Chain A
Amino acid sequence: MIEVKNLTKSFKQKNGEVFNAVDDVSFIAHKGEIVVLLGVNGAGKTTTMRMLSTVLKPNSGTAIIEGNDVLLQPQKVRANLGFLSGDTGLYARLTGREIITYFGRLYDVDDVTIKNRIKNLSELLDMNDFLDKKIDMLSTGMKQKVSIARSIIHDPPVMIFDEPTSGLDILTAKNIIDFIHKCKDDGKCVLFSTHIMREAERIADKIVMIHKGSILAEGSWKELQEQTGKRDLDDIFIHFVDQQKESEGAADEF
C-alpha cells in the first residue's frame, strides 16, 4: 500500500526563483489496485515517483510504503518497491540473465530463488531465446522485457511504473500493460504514470489527475464521469484544468 501525505517538492531554478514541481499532493493506492497518475508532461509525475522511490527527498510531507516512511526508512521502502520507467537503460555489455541476477542480489534475494524466478519470468515474458545474449544485441522490445524482469526480481509488494510505455510500439507496450494486469492479479499495489488518456481509461482502478504539481481530481473513471457529466477522459481532464484556471483567476482578483 502507498500512502502519500502532503508531498511537496520545489527546485531552485537558475534565475533564483523557486519552482514547485509537486505541491501538497496526497493520495492512497491499495493492495491489488492500479492507480494511474495522469497528467501532461511536466505536471510533476516523475518528481512524485522519484520521491516515492526515495531518490529525491521531499521538502515537506512524506509517503508511507508498506508501513515504511520514505524519509525515515528509505532502505526498507526501496526493498519493497519495484521501479520501472520508460527511459531506464540496461548494461549493454552484460546479458539479460546477468543483469537480472545482479539486481536480485542487490535486493538480497538468495541465488536459488533468483534462479527459479528468472526461469518463471522467462517463461512468462517469453525471454528464453535471448536471455543469455548481450543487451547490445537485443531489440527494444526484448530490452523492455529484460527491464520488466529486472524490476520485479525481488517480488516486491509495490510496483511503480513511470511512463513505461513512452516511445514503445503497440506490441511492446502491450507486453507492459499485460504485465501490469498480472501484477494486479498477484495482489500487488501498482502506481502507474502516463500522459496518454486512453491508457488510463484501459487499466486504471483509480485515476489521480495531476497538473502543475497539484492534484486536480481523484476517483475511478466512472466516478469522474459522473462528477463532470463528460464521457471521455480527455474531456474530463480539460474540464478540471479549466476549473483550476478559473479558481486561480478568482484567487488573483482578491
Chain B
Amino acid sequence: MNFKKILTIYKKEMLDILRDKRTVLSAIVVPIILYPLLIIGMSSLMSRQEQKIENQSATIYIDNQVKDNNSAKITEALASAKNIQIMNEVDDPFALLDENLVKAVLTISDSISDTGYQIIKVKISYNASDEKATSLFSQINKVIQEVKDDIVGERLKEINIASDILNAVEVLEDNVAPPEQMFGFFIGKILPYLLIMMIISSGAVVASDLVAGEKERGTLETILVSAAYRNELVFGKYLTIITISFITIFLNLFSMYISIQHMLSQSGLELENVDLPIGNFALILVAMLPLVTLIAAILLSISTFSRNIKEAQSYQMPLMLVGMMAAMISMFPAFELNVGMALIPIVNIALLFKDIMMNNFNLNLFLIVVGSTLFLDLIAIYFSVNLFNNESILFRTSDEKSLKFWGKGSKNVFSEQFMTLYFIAILVIFYYIGSRWQMENITMGLIKSQLIIIALPVLLILRFSKSDIKKSLRLQNTNVKNYFVPILASIPVVIVAAIISQVINLIYPFPESYLENLQKIINMSDFPLWKNILIIAVLPAICEELMFRGFIIRGFEKRGFWNAIIITAFLFAVLHLDPFRFIPVGLLGIWMGYLLLKTGSIFVPMLAHALNNTLAVLLSRDYIPFIGKIAEDGELPYWSIIPALIIIYVIYLWVEKINLKIERGE
C-alpha cells in the first residue's frame, strides 16, 4: 500500500465530491445557514407563543351552590385575578366548555368535617389537553390556595392560635447543579441524536456516489484495471467519506454552538451568564471520530455491494433506522453509560455525549467506547477491502438478482426465498396474534400458538405443495444409539447454556421483572408436574422442531452442512423474540441442527429439545438437587463449563463415529 497513491485517490474524490452541488448543499450550506435559522426562529416563536398564552384572558364559569361568605371570597378573588373573566348565568356551562367558549367550569359545594367545620369543595372542570386551560388551572389553583390560607387564618384567630403554627415544616429548594450542567442536561439529550443522524446522512450521500455511483457510470472498471491496489482505492474513498462527515459535524457543532449562545441570550432563562463549555464541544468532536470512521466503513461496504446509487440508498435505510433508534437511547433517562453499554456501538457514543455534556467524564469508559468502536471499524474496513476483491460483487449486473430472487425460486417451497418469506410471515403472526393469545391466557395461549402458528402451517404447506411429508420433515428412524446422544448430553448442554446466560447477565443485567416473568412461564406452579412438562417441554419440542429442523433447514441445505445449521439456529433464536436469551437459544439451535443433519432423524433433536426444556422446568421447581448443590445463589460456578464442554466434545466424537459407520453402511 502506497500512501501517496491513497492521497491521489483521496484528492481526486474530494475534488469530485466538492463539485457536486448536492453534497455541498447537504454537508456545508445546510448546517451553516438553515440550522441557526431553525433554532433561533423556533426559540423566538416559542417564547412569543408562551407570552401570548399568558396574556390571553380566559373566560370561566362558576356554579356557586354554597353562596355563603367563604365561597363568595373565592368568587371575588377569581374575579379580581388577572386575565380571568367570569361568565354570568348560563343554562348549560358544560356545553360551553365542550365548545371551548369557557376554559373552565368551577362547581363550588361544601360539606361538614368530623369536627364540625365547613369544607368548601371546588371542582375545576377543564380540558387538560388545552395548553391555555392547563395554565389557567394552575392559576386558579394558586388563587384558591391564597383564599384557603386566608380562611384558615381566620379560623385559627377565632380560637386564638397564631397562624404560624402551620409553618411546622418548610421546604427550601436549592438546585446545586451549576448552570452549565443544567444546560448540558438539556443539550446532552438532543445533541447526540442530531449529530449521529447527521454523520450517517451526510456520509450516506457521499458513500453511495463513491462506489455504487462509479459502477453506475461505468468508471469503476477503469480504476480497477489501473495500477492502484484495491486497498489503496478503498482507503482513498474511505478517507473521503470520513472527511465529508467530519466537516459536516464540525460545521454543525460550530453553528449549533453559536446558535445556542444566541438563543440563551434571548431566552430569559436564568442562564445568561452561562459560558457554554467549549471544551466539551471539543471533547465530543474527538469522541465522534471513531464513530465517524465506523459509519464510513459500513457505508462504503454498502456502496461496494450495491449495483447502483438507488440500490445503495435502499440498503442505507436500515442503517439509518438502527442508528436513529440507538441514538435515541440518550434521550431516555434510565440509560447510563457503563461497561456493558460502552460496548454497544452508537448507543455508547450517544450516552458518552450525555455524560460529557453533564461534566460526568470518565476516562476509562471513554477509552472503552473509543476502543470498541475502532475495533468494529477495523472489521468493517477489512470487510470493504474483501468486497473490493470480490469479482462477483464488483460485476453484478443491473437487473440480475433483485427481480428474479423473488420470482423464480419462490414457487419451490424448499427454496431460500420461500423460507425467508415463510419465516417472516410466521414471525409477524406470532408477534401480533400469538403474544395476544398468551396475554389473555398464558397456558392456552402457549398451546394455541405452538399448534396453530408453529406446527400447522408446516403441515399445510407440505400438503398443498404435494411434498412427501414424512421424508421432507425427516420423520424417520435412525440408529438406536443416536437416541442416547441427547440424553447423555442434556445436562452438560443445560450447564453451558446457563453459564452463557450468566455471563450475558453480568454484562447486560436482566431486568428483575423479566426474570420473574420467565420463571412464571416455565414454572406453572398451579399445575401438576406432568402437565407442566407437557406444555413447556414436549409440545414446543415437537412443534418448533417440525418448523425449524423439519422444514426451514431444508431451504438452506444447499449452502452446506454448517451454514444450514447456523442460519436455521439464527432464525430459531429470532422467533423467541427475546434479546436476553438470543445467544443461548441460538446455541441450542445449533446443537439441535447438528443432531438432525448427523443422525438424519428429526426425533433426535425433538428429544434433545424436550429434555432441555424439561430440565428448565425441573430446575425452576428445584427438582434437581445435585445441580442446586453446586450452584450458589442460583448461579453455577464458572468452572462447571469446562467438564460440560469436555463431555459434549466426547459425545460429539461418539456421534461422528456412530454416524460414520451408518454412512459406510456397516
Chain A residues with CB under 8 Å of chain B are 14-16, 50, 53-57, 75, 78-79, 81, 83, 85, 87-94, 98, 102-103, 105-108, 134, 150-151, 154
Proximity bits, B207-240, A CB within 8 Å = 1, else 0: 0000000000111011111111100000000000
Q: Confirm or deny: B186 has a beta carbon within 8 angstroms of a beta carbon on chain A.
A: no
Q: Are A105 and B5 in contact (CB under 8 A)?
A: yes
| A89 contact set on B, CB distance < 8 A | 217-219, 222
Q: Which residues of B contact A106 (CB under 8 A)?
A: 5, 8-9, 223, 226-228
Give the distance in Å from the alpha carbon of A89 to the alpha carbon of B217 in the complex: 6
Alpha-carbon distance between A16 and B217 when the two chains are bound, in angstroms: 30
A-B contact pairs, 16 of them (CB 8 A): A14-B404, A15-B408, A53-B224, A53-B225, A55-B221, A55-B394, A78-B226, A85-B221, A89-B218, A89-B222, A90-B219, A93-B20, A102-B12, A106-B9, A106-B223, A107-B226
Chain B 370-408 interface mask (CB, 8 Å, partner A; 1/0): 000000000000000000000100110000110010001
Tell me, yes or no, whether B15 is within 8 Å of chain A by CB. Answer: yes
**Once bound together, how far apart are the Cα atoms of A159 and B219, in whole Å?**
18
On whether A78 and B20 interact (CB within 8 A), knowing A56-B391, A88-B219, the answer reads no
- Indicate the size class of the contact surface on chain B: 20 to 34
How long is the Cα–Cα vector from A102 to B228 in the complex, in angstroms? 11
A56 to chain B, nearest CB (A): 5
Q: Is the CB of B219 within 8 A of A93?
A: no
Known A90-B219, A91-B219, A106-B5: A54·B12 in contact at CB below 8 Å: no
Across the interface, do B218 and A88 meet the contact criterion of CB distance under 8 Å?
A: yes
Residues on the A chain within 8 Å of B661, using CB: none
Contact assessment for B391 and A57 in the assembled complex, using a CB-CB cutoff below 8 Å: yes
Q: Does B440 sit within 8 A of A, measured CB to CB?
A: no
A55 to B: closest C-beta gap in Å = 5
In the bound complex, what is the Cα–Cα distance between A79 and B227 (angstroms)? 5
Chain B residues engaging chain A, CB cutoff 8 angstroms: 5, 8-9, 12, 15-16, 19-20, 217-219, 221-229, 391, 394-395, 400-401, 404, 408, 558
Chain A residues with CB under 8 A of B19: 93-94, 134
Q: Report the separation of the CA atoms of residues A151 and B9 in the bound assembly, to the nearest whole angstrom.
A: 17
B34 to chain A, nearest CB (A): 24
B408 contacts across to A, CB distance below 8 A? 14-15
Q: Which residues of B contact A154 (CB under 8 A)?
A: 227
Q: Is A88 within 8 A of B12, CB to CB?
A: no
Interface of A is mostly: loop
Return the chain A residue nearest B214 by Cβ.
A89
Of chain B, the residue at the smallest CB distance from A99 is B12
Q: How far is the CB of B559 from chain A (nearest CB, A)?
A: 12
Q: Are A108 and B227 in contact (CB under 8 A)?
A: yes
CB distance from A175 to the nearest CB of B (A): 18
Cα A78 to Cα B222 with chains together (Å)? 11
**Count, A-B residue pairs, CB within 8 A:** 75
Cα(A108)–Cα(B229), bound, Å = 12
* Chain B residues near A50 (CB-CB < 8 A): 395
Contacts of A54 in B (CB 8 A): 225
Given that A91-B219, A106-B223 are known contacts, is A55 also in contact with B8, CB under 8 Å in the complex? no
* Distance between B396 CB and nearest chain A CB, rounded to angstroms: 11
Cβ–Cβ < 8 Å partners of B228 in chain A: 106
Set A16, A88, A108, A134: member contacting B222, Cβ < 8 A:
A88
Chain B residue numbers with a CB within 8 Å of A150 are 222
Q: Are B16 and A105 in contact (CB under 8 A)?
A: no
Instruction: Name the contact of A75 in the complex, choosing from B218, B227, B401, B558 (C-beta under 8 A).
Output: B227
A222 to B227, CA, bound (A): 38
Complex Cα distance A92/B217, Å? Answer: 9
Tell me, rounded to whole Å, the shortest Cβ–Cβ distance linking A110 to chain B: 11
Query: 18 new A-B pairs (CB below 8 Å) besides A98-B15, A106-B226, A106-B227?
Result: A14-B401, A56-B391, A56-B395, A75-B227, A81-B225, A83-B222, A88-B219, A88-B221, A89-B219, A91-B12, A92-B217, A93-B16, A94-B15, A103-B222, A106-B8, A108-B5, A150-B222, A154-B227
Cα–Cα, bound, A93→B394 (Å): 23
Q: Tell me the minimal C-beta distance from B488 to chain A in angstroms.
A: 39
Q: Which residues in B have their C-beta under 8 angstroms from that of A55? A: 221, 224-225, 391, 394-395
State in angstroms the CA–CA spacing of A177 and B457 once bound together: 65
Q: How far is the CB of B206 from chain A (nearest CB, A)?
A: 13
Q: How far is the CB of A163 from chain B (nearest CB, A)?
A: 13
Interchain residue pairs A-B with the least CB separation, the first 10:
A89-B218, A89-B217, A93-B19, A79-B227, A83-B225, A106-B226, A53-B225, A105-B8, A89-B219, A107-B227
Q: How far is the CA of A16 from the CA of B600 in the complex (A)?
A: 25
Residues from chain A with Cβ under 8 Å of B221 in the complex: 55, 83, 85, 88
Closest to A16 in B: B558
A14 CA to B394 CA in the complex, in Å?
A: 17
In the complex, A50→B5 CA distance in Å? 23
Q: Which residues of B contact A57 (CB under 8 A)?
A: 391
Which residues of A sit under 8 angstroms from B219, Cβ to Cβ? 88-91
